Chain A
Amino acid sequence: MIKTLQIWLAIFVIVSLYFYGLDHFIMSVQGLPLNMDLTPAQ
């Protein structure tokens, strides 16, 4: 049970990090950089 929970949590963390990085990448290639908290940097 605990192992299953750990797997789910780990996967959610990895996927969230992926989308977080994706958001930064997509906006910065458009010349619209973001701060760490995803607010506009300009």
Chain B
Amino acid sequence: MKESRYSSRLMWLMLLLIAALGFFWSGTVTITNTSGDWFSGAVASVDDVSADEMTAGDAELKLVPAPKPTRADYPDIGVSSRSIVWVVAQMHLFFGALVLAVPLFVLVIELLGMYTGDSRYDDMAHEFMKISITAYSITALFGGTLALSLFLLYPDLMAYLMRVFGAQMMVYAILFFLESMVLYIYYYGWDALRYGNAKWVHLSLGLLLNGVGATLMVTANSWATFMMAPSGVNEVGAVIGNIWEVMKGPLWNPINLHRFIANIAFGGAVVGAYAAYKCLAARTAEARAHYDWMGYTSNFIAILAFLPLPFAGYWLMAEIYAYSQQMGITAMGGILAWLFIIQAVLIGTILLAGNYYLWSGMSRTEGSKRYQGFIKYIAVVLVICFLIWVTPHTLILTSGEIAALGGSNHPLLGALGIMPAKNIAVNLMLIFTFMSFQIYRRSDKVATVSWEKAGNALMVAIYVVAIVNIIFAGVYYGYFTNTVYKVGSSVMQVVSTLTVIISGVVLDAFLYRGAKTLPSHWGQVSNRAQYALFALPIAFTWLMALMGYVRSSVRTHWHVYTVMKDTSPDNFIPTIGYAGNMMTIVTVMFVLFVLFIFWIANLSGTKQVPPYAVRKVPAAERAGDAA
């Protein structure tokens, strides 16, 4: 009865929210005075007004170029403005990524719990949300601080962006309210909407939450991509398109996809660290088993989302090159190129830690003995590929070192420091990481289908031919043909890797249908495996700080690339050392905040022992307390 009352209330609330959204999107609301269709007319176009109606003065008024601030127009508060915005923006992005990602996989886990009828999934999903809910407040606090910092320190830039994006900023604010409301209902309504039809209402709320969250993300992404590759404006930055033309720049969708996938991997890694922390601190075997399972699930999410991420990154870089070769070369061939070597170190750390966790986790089941022999070969391939990936093309040397070497080039660096070698290495690392996953998932099962041998032969053949194809494409097209074929062949390599991953998942689903399951002992895993789960979010955080910096720095001395110059005292690309320190500062800050969140999440489940339980209290006093 109580359940149906809750579900009916929430159903009404959802209908109301959907109706409100539909109303805003219907185009009947006039927010700007320039056009009846507020969404497309949020930024007025000269085309919207006929030539007869528009006077020369009107046209001048509407086609306002981007501002050209002088150095004196930037407020000086005694500290580097860029550093302040750098730290605050990065913290906001870290927490924003976490908050948007966690509900995505929570919804899937909740759905899984409903289909399997296993309440452990539901409990785990709820616990994941507990982390997200605390992080949400911190996200909002950093978001507010970022907005204030930007308006204070970069007033001309913000005034220009406000003019370009217009009412879309208000849509963002409305979405933020909606996100907050749905998030709190979703989290606090968990137990009230746990069974029967009410569960469907709860799942629908989760879907709505993710829909709003994704819309928030792509809206904010359009601001960043406009600054990198402006669209809907002319060569002096005057707005000549509608808001859709402004948002839909050449880099918008590549960034949307890249951030969407990266957020899931990042969110999985952070909640994995929470599970590891709880697993190490567990005082009972039951709690240790629960958090071990939670850590495994988190690692599964993080690594599975991470596998396609390099491909989204390739797409983004390809679009950056297509938009501006100069920008692409600044990123991968200029001062920022060395940061891609650091990126390789961090991604290598993630893959090694993720693989190590899986190999350690195989000790949970006796069936894993069948596959343990593979581990050393996987490790050798991963290490060799890692070393190739971190090989730079050129070295940063002193004059003495150059003299000793006879030049700044080395034959090995020439061959291994370029993209064909790195493409082979990356794809092989991904394939062998998937192999670790596959043998881990197979280790507690015995196939019972009649075509088991043929199925295994097919899987082996796919691995072998895909690996040969990747090496062939990298070596032949990379070193012996022209540049166009070299670049085009990287798609062959990507598709080969994806073929392995997709066919592996599909084949195993059929091969292990009705399989005999061997017992798994959750909690029976080394503490070292839990430390690997700590390594993942730290490497992910550093990686985000690093590549976020690269993405932003490719604008060089422009606020908005080619249309609004940055004339502030910080209008230069800082040294790698300085940038490295900034990234480290934000990473350490994020880790400290995450520890705070873990502590808060733990605190909410801690109950103080009543005073009379630890000392002898007269019955009269206890009665008084009770009253």
Contacts and interface: CB of A to CB of B under 8 A. Distances in A.
Contacts, number: 53
A30 B465 contact: no
A22 B484 contact: no
A32 B488 contact: yes
Nearest to A30: B488
Contact of A27 (B464, B469, B492): B492
- Interface of A, secondary structure class, is helix
B302 to A, nearest CB: 29
Interface in A7-30: 7-8, 11-12, 14-16, 18-19, 22-23, 26-27, 30
A12 B495 contact: no
Contacts of A12: 461, 464-465
A38 to B, nearest CB: 8
B482 A11 contact: no
Given A22-B495, A30-B491, A40 B469 contact: no
Interface string B487-498: 011011001100
B490 to A, nearest CB: 10
Contacts of B492: 22-23, 26-27
A4 B460 CA distance: 14
A8 B457 contact: yes
Contacts of B316: none
Contact of B485 (A4, A15, A40): A40
Contacts of B453: 4, 7
A4 B492 CA distance: 31
B481 interface: yes
A7 B477 CA distance: 32
A7 B492 CA distance: 27
Most buried by A among B457, B461, B476, B484: B461
B469 A19 contact: yes
Contacts of A39: 481
Contacts of B466: 19
B460 to A, nearest CB: 8
Given A12-B461, A19-B499, 12 more contacts: A11-B454, A11-B458, A12-B464, A19-B469, A23-B469, A23-B492, A26-B488, A26-B491, A27-B488, A32-B484, A40-B477, A40-B485
Interface of A: 4, 7-8, 11-12, 14-16, 18-19, 22-23, 26-27, 30, 32, 38-40
